[in-house]
Chains A and B, each alone.
Chain A
Amino acid sequence: MTRERAYDAVRRLARVDDEQVATVAGAEGREALLEGIVSMPVPTTTPAPRRRRRASVIGGGIAVTLAASGTIGWAIAVNNPRDTTALQCAIPDSPSIVDAVSGDPVADCAAEWERQRGEAPPALVAYDNGHGGVLVQPATEPAPPGSSPFAGTQNLALIQLGEALDDYVAGLNSRCLDEPAAVSLTKAKLAELGLHDWTVTTRRNPGATCFDRASPDPGSRTVLVIGAASVQDPSSVDMILARRLRKVAATCQSLPEAKAAVERAASDLGLSSDPSFVQYRITSVATDAKCTTIRQRVGGAIFVTLRGPRG
């Protein structure tokens, strides 16, 4: 079978074509969905107006420094890449956006590089991409236009806050939380991470009963907790795995012990970590903590982050 014949055969199997979709997925529905989405808060990786006003005050040092080079507007308008919780990792043929885990963007990119290519990366360098993001690439590559070297670390407390709130084991996705319960949980997570001067606000989407999403804004030190879901299915694989991991998390385990327990739980549910079709992925971070914490997030696959002692 030629390549074209194969594709032509498959093409005829499509149950609907784009023209049919266009006839029903009209402008009214399209605009209704768009309006619902853009009414959601702008994520923390983008400067909200109140944040820019704050930056003009507390970020005065930066503004003055750059003012000498005539770029004060840029300094005020651009977000601080330290507060991003993701990074761009320039892996050849497979540029990737990955969640920040350790706070060290070079280390996080190196781990992703090794995971994807099965080999240690060359020397890597982190850049502030000039748009509020962090880019990591081989040191031999020229610096991207508009970028500047990124020294230091990303905000680890903010990274861990995102993990803790999105968490299916003990976070907002662990069960259907009403507004008071979600606020209480969010305040507890903030306190655990030493973010004592943060406040919590809420918003409920029409028809929603579960407050399952959070949008932390480091500029205003506010977490917006959103009631976005109307149903959570306890029989889903995500929720079943989370219940099993909750039992693991209830015991004090070392990092290797917790990793083995997570692998067993995932395997029992038939989940694969095969690189060709990842259904779950475990990221381990060694810390000085006495016991390992387990966070489970869901987004395309199941991402489990373990932070604990090497054992």
Chain B
Amino acid sequence: MDDDERRGRYEAAYRALYAPVCGYVTRRVPDPQDAAEVVAETFLTLWRRFEDAPPGDELRPWVYGVARRTLANHRRGERRRTALAERLAADLAVLGEAVHAPDVDDSVARAFAALSDADRELLALVAWEGLSHEELAVALGVSRPVVRLRLHRARRRFAEARRQDDLQRSAAAGHATARRVIARPGTTEETL
């Protein structure tokens, strides 16, 4: 593959993956400058290691894997400011103004937040990025049986987290009712 062919193939891959990668990152990084840095670093890694990237359908999950590792660095506190990301940061700042918090049942959000980082990422890769088991294996660098097992456990823990949240809310509601019943006239809940 000569330089022109390499560049042409990279550009095709870049244009196909630009929106999905921007989506992947902005769903996980609220700050537009930080998100732009992660996107830029991800595509720069793809440029530097293009010969290592798998062809065809495996490319997208492979790039998500790169983005995931870049993001992990970013969350660990590595902060670089590159000129590459400036234009994209300006774009994503507009996105930040337009985004509204999704209308979801609080218990779902609480249960999701209660999961480990690994469980959340696994479920998000399926639900938000639409990855299949095979693609997850590529993105996470593990075997398909391991993906199935981890997904099964993550779903089970998510269901358990929702059940626990429901129980706590029911208990809290019941406790509040009981306190209202036993509160005598002239006393406040704070004094009971």
Known contacts: A38-B11, A207-B86. The answer to whether A93 contacts B145 by CB under 8 A is yes
Interface size of B by Cβ–Cβ distance < 8 Å?
Answer: 80
- B144 contacts A93, CB within 8 Å? yes
Distance, CA A298 to CA B72, complexed state (A): 11
Interface size class of A (residues with CB under 8 A): 35 or more
Distance, CA A2 to CA B34, complexed state (A): 35
- B128 contacts A14, CB within 8 Å? yes
Distance, CA A99 to CA B7, complexed state (A): 23
Give the residue among B72, B81, B104 with the most A Cβ atoms within 10 A: B81
Q: Does B63 sit at the interface, judged by CB under 8 A?
A: no
Please give the distance in Å from A128's CB to the nearest CB on chain B. Answer: 13
- A299 contacts B69, CB within 8 Å? yes
- B141 contacts A94, CB within 8 Å? yes
Q: Does A247 sit at the interface, judged by CB under 8 A?
A: no
Please give the distance in Å from A81's CB to the nearest CB on chain B. Answer: 11
- A230 contacts B81, CB within 8 Å? yes
Which residues of B71-91 have CB atoms within 8 Å of chain A's CB atoms?
A: 72-73, 76-88, 90-91
- B87 contacts A28, CB within 8 Å? yes
Q: Does A68 sit at the interface, judged by CB under 8 A?
A: no
Q: Which residue of A lies closest to B20 (CB)?
A: A18
Distance, CA A276 to CA B147, complexed state (A): 12
Known contacts: A22-B19, A237-B78. The answer to whether A13 contacts B109 by CB under 8 A is yes
Give the residue among A36, A45, A131, A229 with the most B Cβ atoms within 10 A: A36
- B144 contacts A45, CB within 8 Å? no
Q: Does B169 sit at the interface, judged by CB under 8 A?
A: no
Distance, CA A40 to CA B117, complexed state (A): 34
- B98 contacts A24, CB within 8 Å? yes
- B77 contacts A233, CB within 8 Å? yes
Which residues of A14-72 have CB atoms within 8 Å of chain B's CB atoms?
A: 14-18, 20-26, 28-30, 32-34, 36-38, 40, 42-43, 45-49, 52
- Which residues of B pack against A, CB within 8 Å? 1-3, 6-7, 10-11, 14-15, 18-20, 22-23, 26-27, 30, 39-40, 43-45, 47-52, 54, 66, 68-70, 72-73, 76-88, 90-92, 94-95, 98-99, 101-105, 108-109, 112, 117-118, 123-124, 126-128, 137, 141-145, 155, 158-159, 162
- Which residues of A pack against B, CB within 8 Å? 1, 3, 6-18, 20-26, 28-30, 32-34, 36-38, 40, 42-43, 45-49, 52, 77, 86, 88, 92-97, 131-133, 205-208, 228-233, 235-238, 276-277, 279, 298-301
List 26 A–B pairs whose Cβ atoms lie within 8 Å, in order of A's numbering: A1-B162, A6-B158, A10-B123, A12-B102, A13-B112, A14-B102, A14-B127, A17-B23, A18-B20, A20-B99, A23-B98, A29-B87, A33-B84, A33-B85, A36-B84, A40-B48, A42-B3, A43-B49, A48-B3, A49-B2, A86-B49, A94-B143, A133-B51, A133-B52, A232-B80, A277-B117
